[in-house]
Amino acid sequence: MTDFRYGPVEFYLVGFEGERPDPATLQALQKVLDTGALRLLDFVLVSKSTDGELTTVEVDDDLSALGLPGVRLEASGLAGDSDIAEFGDVIPAGGSAALVALELSFQRELAASLAAGGGEVLGTERIPAPVVNAVLDLYTETEGE
């Protein structure tokens, strides 16, 4: 079997008010990281001025000051300038966001097994949680009638 150091990675752009995410958001991230299902690879704070200029702050390896004690970045710098610029387009003027790179470590073994067997993932599509919940709620209501 092929041995992968990393599983698939997803970028999340999380908007918030102020200069950093609120404590509840950070606690939710900490809780998921503690399960081992995800690893935090990179964390970049991005703000957009009212005239559209982006300012970034690379969060260093010690995330304690941010509110994530005991968490370290596994691949700081993974989010490149082009990633930041692309995601920055959707940040509203005067707004702030965190660009977070999360490794889906629970999928690392599956990816390695697929590669070892000559398989390859030809595509994926993520359905956002609000959409899934709305569709299933509608289905449940329709089935109950």
Domain coordinates in residue numbering, the chain: 9-120
Query: 126 or 89, which is more confident?
Result: 89
- Confidence (pLDDT) at 48: 95
Q: Among all chains, which residue has been given the structure tokens 């970049």?
A: 44
Separation of CA 103 from chain center? 8
> In this predicted model, what pLDDT tens digit does every residue of 40-77 receive, in sequence order?
999 999 999 999 999 999 887 678 888 898 898 999 99
15 CB contacts (<8 Å, ≥6 apart)?
91, 92, 95, 96, 97
3-state helix, strand, coil in the chain (%, to 5): 35, 20, 45
pTM (2 d.p.): 0.82
C-alpha 112/C-alpha 116 separation (Å) is: 6
State the amino acid at position 91 in one-letter form.
I
Q: Is residue 14 pLDDT above 90, yes or no?
A: yes
Distances (CA, A) of 120 to 29, 88, 100, 112, 114: 30, 31, 25, 10, 6
How far, in Å, CA of 16 to CA of 73, rounded? 21
Q: What are phi and psi of 112, to 5 degrees?
A: -65, -45
